[in-house]
Amino acid sequence: MMKEFPKEALDLDEMILSYIRRGTDHQDSEEFNRLALLVFELQVKYIPIYRCYCEKRGIHPENISSWDQVPALPTDAFKVMDLAMFPSFTVRTFMTSGTTKPEERGKVGYDDGGLQLMDATIDEAASVFLFPERIKTKILILAPSPDTVPHMIMAYGMNRLKESFGLPQSRFLIGQDGFEVQVLVDELRRSEANGIPTTICGGSFGFVNFFDYCREKGLRFKLPPGSRTLDAGGFKGRSREVKREEFVGAGEEFLGIPKYYSVNLLGMTEVSSQFYDNTLRNFQRGLDLPETKVNPPWTRTLVVDPDTLEPLPQGKVGLLRHFDLANRGHIAAIQTDDLGRTTSEGFEIYGRSRGEEARGCSLTIEEMTRIQKD
Amino acid sequence: MEIIEVDAYYVPPDFRSQVKDFRTEVYQDENITIHLKIPQISNSFVETLTDHLKKRRETYLASLPIGKIIDVLDEASRKWLERDYPLRKLALKTIPFTTRFSREVVEASIDVEMGSSLREDIWHALCSEIKNPLFLDDFQYSPELNGYSRAFGPKLIISIFSENIPALPHLLFMRSALLKAACLGKVATGEPTFAPLYLKTIEEIDPEMAESMAVLYWRGGEQDIEEAAFHHADAVIMFGGVEACESLREKIPRGVKALLHGHRLGFGIIGQKRLCRKGLRELAASVALDCSMFDQHACLAPHIYYLEAGGEVSPKEFCRTLAEAMERLNLKMPRGKISPGEASAIHQLRAKYEFRELNGEEVLLLASPHGTDWTIVYEKDPGIFSPSPLNRFIRIFGVEDILQILPSVKSIAPYLQNAAVAIGDEREKELIRRLGELGVARITSPGKMPIPSMMWHHDGISPLASLLRWCDIEKKDP
């Protein structure tokens, strides 16, 4: 067993960290490519099974010159084995949800360095796409805290948001006894009264359940200016699918949150970074850019042909493949089964290509926030 | 660019003036544009049509001798088996387009379906189910009864087709005609072109018989239309998903017979005696055909082939020979196009097996050199019947003793249908007996899974006899 964390990984983490800390307003592709190849080299060196996988495809760090030649790993591979770079240094394991069968849950192990990278991506991305005016707000989270669900990456990420961007009154709203809906109502009333901007974040379906609750109880809130929502997870595989316009409309109706302040993000257990909508950033900065999910500079997204897995030109619909420098601790190139297409700034996602299995953290959150009809 | 106009419906010649409004759906790719003509229908239209079909049945089909009906059906099958038959040529353009099966698969499918629907097959099917086909014409002496019996079919059968097997809808029209029943078919959105063409063939041969047959398209669950149709029917036959069948069951009025063919699962079993060098390539070619025909979309297709260890050829070695056969067959009869979701499911599942293999597990992944054309995965039987993601993805499970598979087969008992069995020793009888008890409806040899005879008790029922009503004369003095 490895006794000491290898220095070359520490050094690489340092380089990636400073690249992430440069923020999202640059496109230094040369440096991205250099770091991507270093990450690949290290993953091939330390993850023997990934090395075999690449060798079978005739790919070695010496014979490629660009990040897009790096063999991508289908997400289901995480269901059959531990792909952490340094398993003996794993401090935290996140698991995919959407199924109760443990053998059908993907597991991704993080070492300390990997967690630091993820923390940095959360801070940098949120400070541009969720809090572009660099303010702190009260953050109310429609999810359980990481203490209750240590394997849920969304809970981890939301906790980081709370620590970096939350005022002291911020809190999680799913406890041992489920969704504390009365606490949420009280907190929102308090915000209305004291005028403190409030951010509500959580699984997309958790919001829908709360909107249903408001509709049923005749509740309406007028949250102070600067309040916003952040939802993640989407609706695929859910009892009902809610269109974005409908979702945003409900945010305006029940919470009094203007449409530009409803932000959606795509997060995946297998990818450390998050992909935000550019709506709030565009609004705050007066940018007239098409709405899209954005690739922050430390990530890239390709669209590949579903049958051959060969890259497709921009605009063509296919399967999304992400490359994330912050994935240093497991595998950087991830082949998803999400359908989408690339845009000038990032990509659009149309949902899972396979409809039958629900994906994302949203499912368990739905179960936890389902409000009993009395 | 070729433009083809094709009907997604068929109404009898004497009813055509009643079809007034159409809409056209246009489908196109780089080489071909298809204008699909669909009539606008209402529940009153369906009522008038069913009325027409029943009346014309009464004046013709109901009293047509069974021998003559068989003549017509046999001639129809023979026409479709001719390479130059214009309607076959048309179907070979439209079906690959609507279903995304390759032309070769559709061609094989027409040959298989029509080749098993000839005079002798039809006659045997009737004899196997009702002993004497002349019971359908008139009272016949029955020695067991020491009296006379006659069988009456339904007046009108509604048949709901699925899209997974091209050229299957003809079977429902054949069965209806043999029962001297009028038949209204509902085509599937995914493949609306074959059934209307088949009825044109019947019209070419016997236009009067065609007066009691029709095909329409409506959306599944379209309440008014379905109610109108079911209300006038004596029997409903449906092919489709398990849930679709269940939801249909609730809509069928009491007193209307229902034969619901929900989706089923198939598998194969090869014992150690059969895993020998001699004939290995032939056996592999047979298994490859089972796994490739209809791109595994048929209920008849195998999800798993169980292979017994201890023979001259190990299960793993057989997989390598099978891989060659899958590739050869794919060159000859290419797999059709599949959706992004289907392709993604195959890539993701391949990855799981590839990683287990790289991890040193007793697992093997063999896959087509390009894309997702075919996949073989080998592992020791995990004791769970795991369905395949289809589209030529076969799981090979190694077992120590072939009888070990029974518990996992039992776990899917309600969905059992078709099994290929090749054991080659005295255990075969025992295995077959147990499979029959568990609910398997058809046992055949490798290579024959996709080709049931017309005599087959489809999903374990008698498709003809179960729709008949009998009248017996038990009277000594006339």
Q: Do A306 and B344 touch (CB under 8 A)?
A: yes
Nearest chain A alpha carbon to B346: A307
Which residue of B347, B365, B392 is the best one to mutate when testing the A interface, meaning the one whose CB has the most A CBs within 10 A? Answer: B347
> Which H or E run includes A308?
none
Q: Do B355 and A307 touch (CB under 8 A)?
A: no
CATH class of the domain at B2-263+459-473 = alpha beta
Task: Give the E-state strand segments of B361-432 in sequence order.
Answer: 363-367, 375-380, 393-399, 416-422
Q: Say if A132 falls within a structural domain.
A: yes
Q: Please tell me what DSSP assigns to residue A373.
A: P
| B208 at A interface, C-beta within 8 A | no
Instruction: Reply yes or no on whether the pLDDT at A99 is more than 60.
Output: no
Mean pLDDT of chain A: 91
Q: Say if A345 falls within a structural domain.
A: no
Instruction: Reply yes or no on whether the pLDDT at B186 is more than 90.
Output: yes
Cα separations (Å) of A174 from A155, A310, A368, B292, B450? 11, 43, 7, 50, 53
Nearest chain A alpha carbon to B336: A307
Q: Say if A196 falls within a structural domain.
A: yes
Q: Do A77 and B343 touch (CB under 8 A)?
A: no
Dump pLDDT digits (tens) for B5-27.
999 999 999 999 999 899 998 88
DSSP string, A141-208: EEEE-TTT-TT-HHHHHHHHHHHHHB-TT-EEEEETTEE-HHHHHHHHHHHHHH---EEEEEEHHHHH
Distance of residue B94 Cα from the nearest chain A Cα, in angstroms: 23
pLDDT for residue B478: 53
Instruction: Reply yes or no on whether the pLDDT at B420 is more than 70.
Output: yes
ipTM: 0.89
Say if CB B73 and CB B117 are below 8 A apart. Answer: yes
* Residue B361 backbone dihedrals phi, psi, to 5 degrees: -75, 160
Distance CA B6, CA B175 (A): 25
- Chain A residues at the B interface, defined by Cβ less than 8 Å, are 49, 52-53, 56, 73-77, 79-81, 306-309, 317-319, 335, 337, 339, 352-355
Distance of residue B60 Cα from the nearest chain A Cα, in angstroms: 49
Alpha helices in B143-279 (DSSP H): 169-178, 194-205, 207-210, 223-231, 242-249
Q: Do A76 and B372 touch (CB under 8 A)?
A: no
Locate A225 and state its tokens: 């200016």
Helices A48-56 and B340-358: angle between axes, nearest 10 degrees:
120
**Which residues of chain A neighbour B351 with C-beta distances below 8 Å?**
73-74, 76-77, 335
Dump pLDDT digits (tens) for A29-40.
999 999 999 999
Instruction: Reply yes or no on whether the pLDDT at B139 is more than 60.
Output: yes
Selecting from A56, A75, A318 the residue whose C-beta is nearest the C-beta of B340 gives: A318
Total Cβ atoms within 10 A of residue B31: 9
pLDDT for residue B322: 98
Locate B209 and state its tokens: 């018989």
Give the residue-averaged pLDDT of A184-191: 97
pLDDT for residue A238: 63
Q: Do B344 and A49 touch (CB under 8 A)?
A: no
Helices B103-115 and B86-99: angle between axes, nearest 10 degrees:
120
Instruction: Reply yes or no on whether the pLDDT at B141 is more than 80.
Output: yes
Give the residue-averaged pLDDT of A92-121: 88
Grade residue B264 by pLDDT with cuts at 50, 70 and 90: confident
Is the backbone of residue B390 left (phi > 0), alpha (psi -120 to 50) or beta?
left
Please state, for a pLDDT cut of 90, what percent of chain B lies above it: 75
pLDDT for residue B165: 78
Selecting from A77, A306, A353 the residue whose C-beta is nearest the C-beta of B355 gives: A77
Selecting from B341, B349, B370 the residue whose C-beta is nearest the C-beta of A76 gives: B349
Dump pLDDT digits (tens) for B363-378.
999 999 989 999 999 9
Distance CA B265, CA B228 (A): 33
Q: Do B345 and A354 touch (CB under 8 A)?
A: yes
pLDDT for residue A8: 97
Which residue of B358, B359, B366, B390 is the best one to mutate when testing the A interface, meaning the one whose CB has the most A CBs within 10 A? Answer: B358
Instruction: Reply yes or no on whether the pLDDT at A102 is more than 80.
Output: no
pLDDT for residue A241: 80
pLDDT for residue B263: 81
> Which H or E run includes B89?
helix B86-99
Selecting from B340, B352, B372 the residue whose C-beta is nearest the C-beta of A76 gives: B352
Is the backbone of residue B255 left (phi > 0), alpha (psi -120 to 50) or beta?
left
Coil vs helix vs strand at A356: coil
Domain extent for A214: 1-73+82-297+354-374
Which residue of A99, A354, A359 is the best one to mutate when testing the B interface, meaning the one whose CB has the most B CBs within 10 A? Answer: A354
* Residue corresponding to tokens 């590739």: B327
pLDDT for residue A239: 64
Say if CB A303 and CB A89 are below 8 A apart. Answer: no
Instruction: Reply yes or no on whether the pLDDT at B82 is more than 70.
Output: yes
Task: Give the E-state strand segments of chain A in sequence order.
Answer: 73-74, 92-95, 107-110, 138-144, 171-175, 178-179, 198-203, 228-232, 262-268, 271-276, 293-294, 299-304, 318-324, 333-342, 346-352
Radius of gyration, alpha carbons of chain A = 20
Give the residue-averaged pLDDT of A354-366: 38
Domain spanning B265-440: CATH 3.40.309.10: yes
Instruction: Count, in order, helices (H) and strands (E) of chain A.
Output: 11, 15
Q: Which of B103, B101, B110, B106 is nearest to B81 (CA)?
A: B110
If one counts the domains in chain A, the total is: 1
Mean pLDDT of chain B: 93
Which residue of A103, A307, A334, A335 is the best one to mutate when testing the B interface, meaning the one whose CB has the most B CBs within 10 A? Answer: A307
Q: Say if A317 falls within a structural domain.
A: no
**Which residues of chain A neighbour B348 with C-beta distances below 8 Å?**
74-76, 337, 354
Distance of residue B426 Cα from the nearest chain A Cα, in angstroms: 38
Distance CA A341, CA A290 (A): 14
Say if CB B373 and CB B335 are below 8 A apart. Answer: yes
Q: Do A309 and B347 touch (CB under 8 A)?
A: yes
**By CB neighbour count within 10 A (0-12 exposed, 13-18 middle, 19+ buried), where does B316 fall?**
middle
Q: Do B371 and A307 touch (CB under 8 A)?
A: yes
Nearest chain A alpha carbon to B372: A307
* Residue B430 backbone dihedrals phi, psi, to 5 degrees: -60, -45
Nearest chain A alpha carbon to B355: A77
pLDDT for residue B221: 67
Say if CB B76 and CB B195 are below 8 A apart. Answer: no
Instruction: Return the ∠ at Cα A359 (arms to A355 and A361), rounded to 5°.
Output: 155
Distance CA B299, CA B301 (A): 5
- Strand order across the B257-261 sheet: B213-216, B182-186, B156-160, B235-239, B257-261
Distance CA B14, CA B38 (A): 18
Q: Say if A286 falls within a structural domain.
A: yes
**By CB neighbour count within 10 A (0-12 exposed, 13-18 middle, 19+ buried), where does B361 fall?**
middle
Locate B43 and state its tokens: 């529940």
Which residues 348-387 on chain B approach chain A with CB closer than 8 angstroms? 348-352, 354-356, 358-359, 370-372
Say if CB B256 and CB B234 are below 8 A apart. Answer: yes
Grade residue A303 by pLDDT with cuts at 50, 70 and 90: very high
